[in-house]
Amino acid sequence: MLITNLISRYMELCKAAFLFCGGAKLNKSIQSNIMEMLFLLMVIPRKVNFTQMGRYGKRGEQCYRQTAERSVDWLEMNMWLSAYAFKKGKGRNAIAIDPSYIKKSGKCTPYMGLFWSGCAGAVKRGLEILGIGVIDVDLHECMMLKAIQTTLAKDKENNDMSLYDWYAKALSDNKQILQRITNVLVADSAFSKKPFIDNMLGIGFNVVSRLRHDAALYYLWEGDPTGKPGRPRVKGEKIDFKNIDKSKVAILDTDESNGQVYALKAWCKSLHRKISLVIHILPKGGHRLYFSTDESMSGRDVMEYYCTRFQIEFCFRDAKQFVGLTDSQARDTRKLDFAFNSSFTAVNVAKIMCSEYNLSIGRIKALIINAYYAQRIIDVFENNPNTQLNHEIVNEIFGFAADAA
C-alpha cells in the first residue's frame, strides 16, 4: 500500500458523499474549499482551527472562515457514508442520540450556558451539542449523522421548555430523514422520562433505554376479566428484583460470569405504559433495567441495541482527539455548526478507511500527515534545490508549519 493512496482514498470518499448530498449545486470554488477543509482536518497535527488552516492550506485564513458560513447538508452526506460503511450489516440499525459538552470561553458566543460534563462529573460553562448517530447492532459500530448545537435560551417564548423538550424538538425537525433509516431510537437513562418518551412515540419513534434501578415495575395482569364497568386491570404484583417469579419471565442465554438476564413484558409506573423489559442481575449484586417501548421487541434485541449505543461515545472521543471537535474559536453559529459537523464527517470517512486498511484512526491520520509532508517536498524538489533561485523555496520546506507550534 502506497501511503499517498490514503490521501486519494480519503478525498474520493469525501467527494462522493458531498456530491450525493447536493454539493454539486454549489459553485466549483466553494466545492473545492469545502473539500480542502475536510482534508485539512486530517492533515493538521495539532489544534484544528481557521488559523491553522491558513498555515497548512493553500488558501488564506479568511477564505476558510467565509466558506464555513455556507450551508451543507451534513445529514444526507453522513447518511451516504453510513450506508456505505454498514453495507455488510444485516440491517439491524437504530438512531442513537447523546449530548456532549464543548469547552468554550468568552462572552460573545451565542447560547453559552451551564451544561453537564460527563468527563468532569459536574456542570460547567460552555456549549453543548446533541449528537445524532446511527448504530449497526451486528457490526457493533456507530456513524455520526449530525450534530446540533443546543440553542435553548430562557425567554418569554420558551420559558416553559425544558432541555429534554428541546431535544425532542430537534429530533422532530429531522424525523422524516432519520426514519428513512429506522424508527428505533436508543438513548441513555437520562432520557427515560415520560415527557420525552411520549414526544418520541408521538412522532413515530420506539425508544430503547435504561430505567433507574429503583423503578416501580409490575407483572402484567393475567387474571380473568371481572366483568365490572371501568378500565380493565393491566398490572399485577410488583416485581421484586431479589425474588423474581421465574414462571413469568424468559431466561436469556448469557455467560454465567456476566450474571443472569430475564426478559418479560411489564407495566412501568413512571412511563405509565407496557414495555418490553430486560432485568440484568449482576454477579456481585444489584441489577440493571433495560426497556423498549415496542412490546414486540425481544429481550435479546433490547439488550443488544442498548449495549451498542455506547459506540457513539467513541465517535465523540475520536472527533475530539483527532479532528479538533472542541478547537474551533468561531463565535458565529453557522461556523460552529460547520466545525462540529465537518469533524464528525471526517471521523466517518476515517472509520471506513479503518475497515478497508485494518488501521486505527490515529495511525491513518499519522500516515496522511506524513504523506502530505512528503508530497509537499516532492512537488518542490522537481527543481534543483541548489540553485540560488530555489534557495527561498528550500528554506520554506525546512520551515513548513514551524510557525504553527
Task: State the number of CA atoms in the 13 A half-sphere of 113 facing the CB.
Answer: 13
β 217-220/141-149 pair status: unpaired
SS3 content of the chain, % helix, strand, coil (to 5): 45, 20, 35
Answer yes or no: pTM beyond 0.75. yes
Spell out the domain ranges in the chain. Answer: 211-298
Confidence (pLDDT) at 308: 95
pLDDT tens digits for range 22-39: 766 778 888 899 999 999
Q: Which grid cell is 175?
A: 424525523
Predicted confidence (pLDDT) at residue 143 exceeds the cutoff of 70: yes
Predicted confidence (pLDDT) at residue 96 exceeds the cutoff of 50: yes
Average pLDDT over residues 137-146: 96
Confidence (pLDDT) at 26: 76
Confidence (pLDDT) at 396: 61
Weakest-pLDDT range from 12-21, 96-105, 266-275: 12-21
Residue type, 360: S
- Measured CA to CA, the distance from residue 106 to residue 115 in angstroms comes to 15
Closest CA to 21 of 85, 65, 71, 93: 71
Q: Cβ atoms within 10 A of the Cβ of 405, count?
A: 5
Backbone torsions φ then ψ of 3, nearest 5 degrees: -65, -35
Confidence (pLDDT) at 36: 94
| Residue 144 near residue 78, CB atoms below 8 Å | yes
Confidence (pLDDT) at 403: 46
Average pLDDT, the chain: 88
- Measured CA to CA, the distance from residue 192 to residue 293 in angstroms comes to 10
| Residue 96 near residue 312, CB atoms below 8 Å | yes
